[in-house]
């Protein structure tokens, strides 16, 4: 019984129609709450004691990094499912999410740099979190370019799944080792998103921004997966009956 449920989920056709239904709600809800969260955070949240008004970039930076990491988790799980159970839909997920993940990580890096200028006076720092975000970006780029270099898409799926899993193991290792490295040097004196110690008045809009941004990104991901399904399964009858 569980197998039947699982098989149903794994069908691209079911996925296509279910996400077609979900998309409008998810998309508009996320956009509206994101706008609310941003306006609240940028205009109404209190001024920070240490950083002044420049801290407000976290309302874009933190959602972006959170989304970047969640998307990579999604890719890692999908790769695992594809390699072990050979579910084709999982491979479509890995392929379509890589591009979106790369863009979101890029956003996180840029916003982090912009935050760095007034806060530490530099565009870049080699601490654990920033370095592992950069590595995450490189991994996403690697996935995209690897898939694009193949004509045979079934082969390409296998390879990016392997690369994604290897990267998944690697990113915590990089984070640990850079942490380990920076204990020798001057540790970063300011933690980037000190969630427990942040003022509640700043925390609420931040949480709204994080989750609504994630919702928005997932809506975009659904669209991308639908596109991938259309592209790959274009010979199937159910697609020809839609168009």
Partner 1 sequence: MKGLLQIELFKLFKKIRSWLGPVLIFTLIIIAYPLTVEYSTSELAKSFYSILWLGALMTIMFSTEDIFLEDYLDGTMDQYIVNNISLPLIVFIKIFVYWLLIGVPIGILSFIFAIVFTSNFESSLLIGLISLVVNYIYFAVFSFGNSLSLNKGSLLSSLVCLPLVLPILITLGKFITALEYALNFYSYIILLLGVLSIIITIIPFLISFILKAHLD
Partner 2 sequence: MRNDYVLAANNIGYSINNTKLFQNINFEAKKGESIHIKGSNGSGKTTLLRIIAGICSSSNGEIIIDEEISKVMVGHSNALKDYLTLKENILMDGSFDIKDTNLFLESLNLKNKLELKIGNLSFGQRKKASLLKVFNNNSDLIILDEPCVGLDAKTQSYLIEFLKKELTKDKTIVYSSHIDMDLDSIEVYL
* Angstrom distances, CA of residue 221 to CA of 75, 127, 179, 188, 193: 11, 30, 32, 34, 26
| One character per residue 141-160, x = contact with partner 1 (rule: CB under 8 A) | xx--xx--xx----x--xx-
Q: Shortest gap between Cβ of 233 and partner 2 (angstroms)?
A: 7
Binds 153, which of partner 1, partner 2, none (CB < 5 to 8 A, cut-off by type)? partner 2
Count other C-beta atoms under 10 Å from residue 203's C-beta: 14
CA distance 194 to 62: 11
Given the complex with partner 1, which of 73 and 166 has the nearer CB atom?
A: 166
Q: Shortest gap between Cβ of 59 and partner 1 (angstroms)?
A: 29
Residues 6+ apart with CB under 8 A from 108: 61, 64, 65, 67, 68, 133
Count other C-beta atoms under 10 Å from residue 12's C-beta: 21
In a 3-state reduction of DSSP, which class is residue 48?
A: strand
Binds 232, which of partner 2, partner 1, none (CB < 5 to 8 A, cut-off by type)? partner 2
Closest Cα to residue 222, out of 23, 10, 9, 7?
Answer: 23
Stretch that binds partner 1, among 61-69, 177-185, 192-200, 223-231 (CB under 8 A): 177-185
Q: Which of 235, 240, 241, 243 binds partner 2 (CB under 8 A)?
A: 235
Overall size of the chain counted in residues: 243
Given the complex with partner 2, which of 108 and 156 has the nearer CB atom?
A: 156
Subset of residues 146 to 165 that bind partner 2, contact rule: CB under 8 A: 152-154
Q: Shortest gap between Cβ of 153 and partner 2 (angstroms)?
A: 5
Binding site residues, partner 1, CB under 8 A: 135, 138-139, 141-142, 145-146, 149-150, 155, 158-159, 162-163, 166, 170, 173-174, 176-178, 180-181, 184
């Amino acid at each position: 019984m569980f197998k039947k449920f699982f098989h149903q989920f794994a069908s691209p056709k079911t996925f296509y129609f279910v996400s077609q239904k979900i998309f409008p709600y998810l998309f508009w809800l996320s956009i509206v709450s994101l706008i609310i969260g941003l306006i609240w955070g940028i205009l109404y949240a209190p001024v920070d004691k240490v950083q002044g008004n420049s801290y407000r970039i976290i309302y874009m930076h933190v959602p972006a990094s959170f989304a970047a990491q969640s998307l990579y988790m999604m890719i890692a799980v999908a790769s695992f499912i594809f390699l072990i159970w050979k579910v084709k839909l999982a491979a479509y997920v890995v392929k379509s999410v890589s591009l979106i993940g790369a863009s979101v990580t890029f956003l996180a890096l840029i916003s982090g740099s912009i935050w760095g200028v007034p806060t530490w006076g530099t565009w870049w720092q080699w601490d654990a979190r920033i370095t592992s975000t950069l590595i995450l970006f490189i991994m996403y780029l690697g996935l995209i370019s690897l898939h694009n270099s193949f004509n045979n898409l079934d082969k390409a799926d296998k390879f990016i799944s392997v690369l994604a899993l290897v990267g998944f193991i690697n990113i915590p290792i990089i984070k640990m080792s850079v942490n380990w490295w920076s204990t020798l040097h001057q540790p970063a004196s300011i933690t980037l998103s000190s969630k427990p110690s942040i003022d509640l008045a700043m925390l609420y809009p931040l949480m709204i921004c994080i989750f609504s941004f994630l919702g928005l990104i997932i809506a975009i991901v659904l669209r991308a997966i639908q596109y991938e399904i259309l592209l790959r399964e274009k010979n199937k009858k159910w697609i020809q009956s839609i168009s």
